[in-house]
Structures are given as structure tokens and as C-alpha cells.
């Protein structure tokens, strides 16, 4: 296999799609730096980060006015990618102090949301937080080195992953990955998954960085997740449901809602697939899939984005996070080789960060797409 057929894990080279389309390095760097400054230190209707006391900080879900492991772990990944150690440490310190369980069935897991003062709202964890915490911590150890607890980043990451695989083996609790299928669960107690939680590019790295006894599991989990996405994504539209069974079919409606359709969680699938292609380039299906989802959205205006059945029928309900969906459609261009790739990158470049109450989720996806498309979402 030639160098240009290998992923960035092997070549250490990351595509800068903005540069390929003619934007200057100065423009690109300025856009990335401005987005960071806006989200972390910008005007009240844009920023999502808030320092707290001498050593903590949090990312606020501005639509729900709470703090989520999703946002905290995302913020840590943003910070380590941008080489911002102070913000990283503040976010980690908040998460470790207020959200991580010290004992019981959720020991070393994180309560999935709390109030901005650190008071827990729910005790249960959401596995997408744990996998992002662990990956961000490993990258921090590589970029900055391990320090005294709780900044012994690599050991903190291993502790989280150990719980994710082995919780319940010696008593109460449940693991976050199904031991039989090697697939990540929606929550530890569930018998189904969330396609947007599947990050095979993270699992490939966990196989090198986690406990030695678990390395084989993580390699198998990467393969299982890649195969799972083939079944979870619709073969014609490329759309995935928010929740799906272990065979990839949409999960039955839950007490808290009907998640069989393409909606907010699902948007992340396209960006995750594209980043896996950039880093590891293991699965040519990812190119076809990225072309499919871009073809589906090509002639739909961002203002007309809606909830869809996975076979593409629109609901009357508009998308809650249209800018986030545009961002992930643009990120798909890193894997796509079809006629729509340039369109989405240019449209995304010309679209500003979202403002207002619902900006948190959109702008997290926006920033990750900005990192990826500029060649700055990297393995450390």
C-alpha cells in the first residue's frame, strides 16, 4: 500500500481541505483561532466555556443550562488539539471533582449531567463522555506529559477504560461495551447502541494505550464498530438512527422518546466516519457512505434541514441543530470523493458559529469539523 493510501496514523500527514480549495494558511489559522476565542472567551451569546474559581471550568449546554460529560469531554478534546493546557486542566478538574463516581456500580464512570455549580442532576453515565475523556487524556499525556494526580493523564485514562470494559465483573454494575458483540452501549444497562458513539479510530489507539490485557478487545471493537456502521447507515440515503440495536436496526421507541430516526445524535456519524478515514483509512465503504449522505443533503437548504426517517422522508419538525448538521456534512468531505464534497466545505467556510440558546451542540460539532477540515484534528 502506497503512502497516499495510508491514514495519518501511519504517514503523520493530515489533509487540509481548506488549503486544497484555495484558502490561505493565514486565513485558516485565523478562522480556527477566532472560533476558539469566541467559544471560550467570546460574547455572551456565543461562548460556551466558563472558568470557575482558581482551577476549574465548565462547558455549558446553553439549551438546557446544564453541564454534560459530552460537552466537558468535547471541551477537553478541543483544548488538547489547540494546545491549551490551562483550559484542559480546568475542565478535567471540574469533571473529576464533581462528575466522576468514586464507588458503587458506576465507580470511575461520570454522572452524565450536573448543574454549573457541580450538583449532580442524574447519577447515570453516558458512554460517549467516557470515550472522549479517555482519548483526550491520552493526547494530553503525549502533548504535555503526566503530572501529579489528577493530572496523571494517562493513568486517569486507563482507569476510565478499565471500568468501561470490566465494571460488574466482581459485583455490581455493568460495562459500557457489550462483551459479546464488542459494541458500545447507549448506557451501561441498555441492550442497544447509539451509532454516533462508535469511534473505531479511538479504539485503534486504545488498543495501543490501554491496559495490556484489553488491547485485543479494543482491536476487535474497532473492527466491530466499522462493521456495525455498515448496517446502521441506510444503504441509499446514508442516514443513521439516533439509537440502534446491535444488528444495526433502529431501536424501539424509549420511555423518553422515539429515536428511530435521523436527528441530533445522528449528525455525528458522518464526522466520525470521516475522521476514522483520515486517521486509519481501513474501510473503503466509508468513502461511499460519505458520498451518499452528501448526495442526500446536496439540494436541501440548511434552513430547511429537518428530522428524517432513515430512508429519507422529512418530518414537519425542523432540525434543532442545523449548523451542527451542516458542519458534519462538511466534515464528510474528508472521506468523500463525489461531486458534492467541495460544495459542503465552501458552504461551511462561509457559515458563522451559531448564536443564541441552542448554540452549544451546533458549535461543538462546528469546531470539530473546523479542526478536521484544516488538518488540525490530530493524533498525539
Positions annotated as catalytic residues are 70, 265
Rounded Cα gap, residues 137 and 34, in angstroms: 25
Q: Which one, of 125, 241, 244, lies nearest residue 181 by Cα? A: 244
Task: Return all residues near 48 (Cβ < 8 A) that are at least 6 apart.
Answer: 39, 40, 59, 60, 62, 71, 75, 359, 360, 363, 364
Other C-beta atoms within 10 Å of 283: how many?
A: 19
Tally helices (H) and strands (E) across the chain: 14, 7
Cα dist from 10 to 6, 104, 138, 180, 192, whole Å: 6, 41, 18, 30, 33
Other C-beta atoms within 10 Å of 280: how many?
A: 21
Cα dist from 244 to 88, 207, 231, 321, 356, whole Å: 32, 25, 10, 21, 31
Amino acid at each position: 500500500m502506497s503512502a497516499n493510501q495510508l491514514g495519518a496514523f501511519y504517514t503523520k500527514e493530515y489533509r487540509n481541505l481548506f488549503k486544497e480549495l484555495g484558502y490561505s494558511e493565514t486565513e485558516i489559522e485565523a478562522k480556527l483561532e477566532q472560533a476558539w476565542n469566541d467559544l471560550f472567551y467570546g460574547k455572551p451569546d456565543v461562548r460556551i466555556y466558563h472558568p470557575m474559581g482558581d482551577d476549574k471550568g465548565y462547558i455549558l449546554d446553553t439549551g438546557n443550562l446544564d453541564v454534560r460529560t459530552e460537552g466537558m469531554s468535547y471541551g477537553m478534546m478541543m483544548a488538547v488539539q489547540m494546545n491549551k493546557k490551562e483550559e484542559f486542566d480546568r475542565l478535567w478538574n471540574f469533571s473529576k471533582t464533581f462528575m466522576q463516581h468514586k464507588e458503587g456500580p458506576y465507580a470511575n464512570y461520570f454522572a452524565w449531567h450536573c448543574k454549573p455549580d457541580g450538583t449532580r442532576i442524574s447519577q447515570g453515565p453516558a458512554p460517549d463522555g467516557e470515550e472522549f475523556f479517555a482519548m483526550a487524556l491520552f493526547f494530553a499525556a503525549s502533548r504535555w506529559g503526566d503530572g501529579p494526580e489528577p493530572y496523571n493523564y494517562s493513568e486517569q485514562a486507563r482507569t476510565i477504560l478499565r471500568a468501561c470494559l470490566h465494571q460488574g465483573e466482581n459485583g455490581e454494575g455493568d460495562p459500557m461495551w457489550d462483551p459479546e458483540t464488542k459494541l458500545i452501549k447507549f448506557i451501561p444497562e441498555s441492550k442497544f447502541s447509539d451509532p454516533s458513539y462508535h469511534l473505531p479510530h479511538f479504539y485503534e489507539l486504545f488498543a495501543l494505550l490501554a491496559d495490556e490485557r484489553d488491547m485485543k478487545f479494543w482491536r476487535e471493537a474497532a473492527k466491530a464498530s466499522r462493521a456495525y456502521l455498515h448496517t446502521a447507515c441506510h444503504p441509499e440515503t446514508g442516514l443513521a438512527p439516533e439509537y440502534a440495536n446491535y444488528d444495526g436496526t433502529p431501536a424501539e421507541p424509549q420511555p423518553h422518546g422515539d429515536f428511530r430516526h435521523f436527528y441530533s445524535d445522528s449528525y455525528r456519524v458522518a464526522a466520525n466516519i470521516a475522521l476514522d478515514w483520515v486517521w486509519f483509512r481501513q474501510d473503503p465503504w466509508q468513502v461511499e457512505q460519505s458520498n451518499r449522505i452528501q448526495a442526500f443533503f446536496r439540494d436541501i437548504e440548511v434552513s430547511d434541514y429537518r428530522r428524517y426517517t432513515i430512508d429519507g422522508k422529512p418530518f414537519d419538525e425542523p432540525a434543532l441543530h442545523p449548523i451542527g448538521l451542516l458542519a458534519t456534512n462538511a466534515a464528510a468531505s474528508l472521506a468523500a470523493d463525489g461531486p458534492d464534497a467541495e460544495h459542503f466545505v465552501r458552504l461551511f467556510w462561509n457559515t458563522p458559529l451559531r448564536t443564541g440558546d441552542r448554540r452549544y451542540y451546533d458549535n461543538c460539532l462546528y469546531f470539530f469539523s473546523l479542526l478536521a477540515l484544516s488538518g488540525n484534528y490530530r493524533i498525539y
